[in-house]
Structure 1
Amino acid sequence: MSPSKLMPLAMLAGRVIIRRFAGIADAVSQYRQYILLLTSSFLLSGCAGMIDMARDVASSLADIDISGVTEMFVGKAPELSPEQLAQLEVIPPARSLWKAGVEEGQAAVFLPVFENGTVYVASTDGLLVRFNATTGKASGVIDTKHKLSGGVGTGEGLLLVGTFKGEVLAFDEKSGNRLWKAQVSTEVLSPPHAANGMVVIRTGDGRIFSLEASSGKRKWIYQGATPSLTVRSFAGVLISDDTVYAGFAGGKLVAINSLTGSVSWEAAVARPKGASELERIADITSLPVMDEQQVCAVAYQGRVACFEITTGTQIWAQDVSSNAGLAMDNHYLYVSENKGALVAYDKKDGTRIWTQSLLDGIRLSPPLVRDARIIVGDSLGYVNLIRNDNGAIVARSLTDEGAIVTRPVPLPDGFAVQTLKGGIYAFSTESMAVPPLLPGQSSSILRSPQSQFLCALLPFCTP
């Protein structure tokens, strides 16, 4: 693909990954080469013959100022209407518990993890930091001596991170000592996951590796067919009993036997459609969710769908587009849509229960279910607490204005988020004050006479 074609695609697609970028070096200056390769490796995954080149470029990302490419994660700054701004400004803040920070993320997205009273946080500069989950005080630092690209994963007594060079590093959770290092095919963009004596890793080229938790020795590899144009994914895998669930490019959800690496079943969450490659992108870029009967996933430019766990038979599906993700509780399935709406579906049959559209235009993180609240971060650096029964936003707090693109992490008395600027913020699930019903807050759920009466008292509320 020529540079003249590659650059418009990269600018247009933003979060899209193109798998062919040969010939760039002869077409642009050294500076433009490096930036374009940076963009390509950041947004676009390389074909098999280019993996080593992409790996070498990615390994130097921590030395480059990439502030100009933040849009790749969060899109352009949203243009909110005066009505939206007025409604958002009167929402009370959530109660802050503590805040801390690590190095600003560079070309990588990190997910904090809570384990045994501690919050573990990673950063591109190679540090793995422990914070007391109650006070936020740092209680230890592990210098991995590598430039990190994904983490933090836990399980089997391990702390797990990945690097731009395709290395998986395992540390003892208690002592912090490194136990082993394993090599996979290319950069590790999501937290490795450990369970049932194994560590499962998803790599930037779409492969899934299973390693022995005790030694890092390879057990099996899964690789499916990958389209030439895909959305950049920081999703890992979901492990339940003896099955690994993962979504892939092209809208495919796969259940893999964790012991053998063989496919138990695969199902189509969405099917590519459209005239151009961009229109045909229908990738699953987030973690599936599940309960005792079903596993559900959502695709970009596709659908949200739920399937029977053992057979993969589809139970229901609804058209939607999301590259952020979804969450599930006892009654509903919650989806962070691309346009900024949070939607609740009845998880039994897919009936839409409510839609919270006050955040339209703002990119949302994957949702977290916490008690009676749904928590989403957003591209403006806010955390939003939303009622699970009617979709009303009950609290909204600003962090450091760095985008929040990963799922909030549950804590015993609240939750925590990590921003792209490296800020670590912990909040309670309670707001500082009891908010009024706000315009657009309850959307389709406002149907009772009591709700309509209260809504009529507010200046912008439409019953």
Structure 2
Amino acid sequence: MALSTLLLGCSSAPSRPEPAPLQPDPKLLGMRQAWGIDIGRVDFPLVLQVAGNTVGVASSEGQVSLLDTRTGEPVWRAEVGVPLNAGVGHDGRMAAVVTTENELVALQEGRELWRQRLNAPSYTAPLVAGGRVFVLGADRSVSAYDGQSGRRLWNQSRSGEALVLRQPGVLIPVGDTLVAGLSGRLAGLNPLNGSARWEVPIATPRGTNDVERLVDLVAGVARQDAVVCTRAFQAALGCVDAARGALVWSKPAVGASGLSGDTTLLLGVESDGTVIAWRRADGERAWSTSQLRFRKLSSPLLLGPALVVGDDAGRLHFLSRTDGALQTRIETDGTPITVTPVLAGSTVVVVTRDGRVLGLRPE
């Protein structure tokens, strides 16, 4: 399917109101920088994935690395030679990225294994699992490739809307099911052949034109066992039991970025920068804080008793899990933090727009 238009996830909008002054840092939580490296500017929708003690990172220009999160040292580094659209998917050994030329590139031990031409762009980090590489296309197709040869094993395509988001979508394994976000629906596929097992709507298209009817699920899910909670862009959030293919609940919500959470709470950021906690059991609001409104926040990461979000000035704000009160604040390099932070062991990994990768640990 040819894509007639691509809509940016952070599309242009009227100038935002001026944010309120930041409150003084109470320094209630001790965090220190354990290591830091530079990888080059990151202008594409990088997604950090952790496997054991490794995390995959990449620059927009195509330098891809697996880092040891204990030291920040590269396990290996490779040059793709072409700017990137999506990545980095990896399993701790093999990594996969998608280039701006619509090529899927597989890498291992610092060398290229293979590259394959895709039928459509992809803005979602490939999933590397079970000796295969899975790709979610911007045309809402899902494909599987053999990890060693690059041979395409299957492709499931479907008709889609004229507009899609130019930001990462949902593509994760849950047990023996491949779970993908297709428009406003979460779908469970058989990873061996791509056949559909179930589809559950999180949000349905509404409105009279393509922009109003745009519904896509965005990357950043909060999973507990087989229950996957996800957000539909500017429309809703909901939880699905992937073992049964059944909707647990869905609630209206106006946000464009992913979720974090644990057994009792879901955390997210609304489009105006309000940070909200919802009860995982039923989706009712537990608390919200507007102290960081209009600061263009990253998706949150829940860290036990605290959560962390980055802003467009390179600050990391650590908030209380209980009520959202500020615990501490850390400055980075002054450039936006648009990549969702991740936790690897006891290390929080953060990436700035200028490509500064930091490993932070509790003091």
TM over 0.5: yes
1:208 to 1:320, Cα distance in 2 relative to 1, 3 A: same
Alignment of 1:267-416 (within 5 A): 267-416=200-349
Give the share of equivalent positions with the same residue, in percent: 26
Are 1:171 and 2:107 matched, yes or no? yes
The Cα shift of 1:146 comes to 2.8
Aligned residue in 2 for 1:152: 88
SS at match of 1:416: strand
The Cα shift of 1:314 comes to 2.1
Query: Which protein has the larger Cα radius of gyration, Structure 1 or Structure 2?
Result: 1
The Cα shift of 1:376 comes to 2.0
Conserved 8 A contact 2:180-2:187? yes
Query: 1 CA distance for matches of 2:148 and 2:73?
Result: 31
The alignment's C-alpha RMSD in Å is: 2.7
- Greater RCO, 1 or 2 (C-alpha within 8 Å, sep 6+): 2
Q: Which amino acid aligns with 1:90?
A: D
* More displaced stretch, 117-126 vs 339-348: 117-126
Query: Residue 122 of structure 2 is aligned with which of 188, 193, 214?
Result: 188
1:145-197 Cα deviation digits (max 9, x unpaired): 3322222111173122221112222222xx32322222222333232111122
Q: Which amino acid aligns with 1:159?
A: A
The Cα shift of 1:291 comes to 1.9
Query: 2 CA distance for matches of 1:428 and 1:76?
Result: 38
SS at match of 1:348: coil
SS at match of 2:212: coil
Conserved 8 A contact 1:246-1:288? no
Query: 2 CA distance for matches of 1:324 and 1:254?
Result: 19
Aligned residue in 2 for 1:253: 186
1:147 to 1:232, Cα distance in 2 relative to 1, 3 A: closer
1:148 to 1:229, Cα distance in 2 relative to 1, 3 A: closer
Query: Residue 69 of structure 2 is aligned with which of 115, 130, 133?
Result: 133
The Cα shift of 1:257 comes to 1.5
Aligned residue in 2 for 1:53: none
Conserved 8 A contact 1:201-1:236? no
Conserved 8 A contact 1:112-1:122? no
* More displaced stretch, 132-141 vs 201-210: 132-141
Are 1:20 and 2:4 matched, yes or no? yes
SS at match of 1:279: helix
Conserved 8 A contact 2:256-2:271? yes
Query: Residue 424 of structure 1 is aligned with which of 350, 357, 362?
Result: 357
Runs of 5+ unmatched residues, structure 2? none
Query: 1 CA distance for matches of 2:360 and 2:155?
Result: 39
1:362 to 1:222, Cα distance in 2 relative to 1, 3 A: farther
SS at match of 1:349: coil
Aligned residue in 2 for 1:100: 37
Query: 2 CA distance for matches of 1:282 and 1:119?
Result: 30
The Cα shift of 1:297 comes to 1.6
Query: 1 CA distance for matches of 2:272 and 2:156?
Result: 33
Q: Which amino acid aligns with 1:102?
A: I
Aligned residue in 2 for 1:205: 139
SS at match of 2:207: coil
* More displaced stretch, 133-142 vs 198-207: 133-142
- In the superposition, the TM-score normalised over structure 2's length comes to 0.88
Query: 2 CA distance for matches of 1:132 and 1:191?
Result: 20
1:229 to 1:322, Cα distance in 2 relative to 1, 3 A: same
The Cα shift of 1:362 comes to 2.3
Query: 1 CA distance for matches of 2:26 and 2:3?
Result: 44
The Cα shift of 1:268 comes to 1.4
1:227 to 1:133, Cα distance in 2 relative to 1, 3 A: same
Query: 2 CA distance for matches of 1:111 and 1:74?
Result: 22
Q: Which amino acid aligns with 1:350?
A: G
Q: Which amino acid aligns with 1:274?
A: G
Query: 2 CA distance for matches of 1:290 and 1:159?
Result: 23
SS at match of 1:397: strand
Q: Which amino acid aligns with 1:319?
A: P
Query: 1 CA distance for matches of 2:22 and 2:256?
Result: 28
Q: Which amino acid aligns with 1:392?
A: A
SS at match of 1:278: helix
The Cα shift of 1:74 comes to 8.7
- Structure ranking higher in strand proportion: 2
- Structure ranking higher in helix proportion: 1
Query: 2 CA distance for matches of 1:218 and 1:351?
Result: 43
Corresponding pairs, count:
360
The Cα shift of 1:295 comes to 2.0
The Cα shift of 1:116 comes to 4.9
The Cα shift of 1:96 comes to 2.3
Conserved 8 A contact 1:149-1:164? yes
- In the superposition, the TM-score normalised over structure 1's length comes to 0.71
Aligned residue in 1 for 2:154: 220
Q: Which amino acid aligns with 1:377?
A: G
